[in-house]
Amino acid sequence: MGHVEMCLAVAGLKEESVNELTRRLSGDWSDFSAAERAAFAFARKQASEPASIADADVRALEEHYGRDGAWHVIWWASRCHYMTKVADAFQLPLERDNPFWSMPGVPSKPREQKKVLHK
């Protein structure tokens, strides 16, 4: 989950929060909302058995997020799975430092950016 950890760090979470959230996401989802559990289940199914995605899976997302929200979940999950496949195919390593601190519009780099351990 190295890329996920980096994205959480970019979002401003501290290292201990990143580690706790990734631990929770990889295991028991019972303390997440029903909507979040539906999104996680969809993303997991899409990653492990993409050909098995059916209309019922989309309807389950629509029940929680509405039509537009469901498509946002589907689009983002698809994009993330695609990027992972491309990075894996080309054996691209994650950056050692957060590459987003130098992008236009980012307020400022924290004084000491702790590196999140990549798995």
pLDDT average, residue stretch 26-47: 92
Helix (H) or strand (E) holding 92: none
Over residues 43-89, the pLDDT tens digits come to 999 999 999 999 999 999 999 999 999 999 999 999 988 888 887 88
Over residues 101-116, the pLDDT tens digits come to 676 776 666 555 455 5
* Rg for the chain, CA atoms, rounded: 16
Domain span including residue 76 = 33-92
Split into its structural domains, the chain has a count of 1
Q: Is residue 100, in this structure, part of any structural domain at all? A: no
Asked whether the beta carbons of 5 and 112 are under 8 A apart, the reply is: no
Asked whether the beta carbons of 65 and 72 are under 8 A apart, the reply is: yes
Q: Is residue 110, in this structure, part of any structural domain at all? A: no
Sign of the alpha-carbon dihedral angle for 66, 71, 72, 74: positive
Asked whether the beta carbons of 15 and 116 are under 8 A apart, the reply is: yes
Our CA angle for 67, 63, 79, nearest 5°, is 55
Q: Is residue 76, in this structure, part of any structural domain at all? A: yes
**pTM score:** 0.68
Which has the closest alpha carbon to 56: 44, 68, 70, 69? 70
Q: Which amino acid is at 70?
A: A
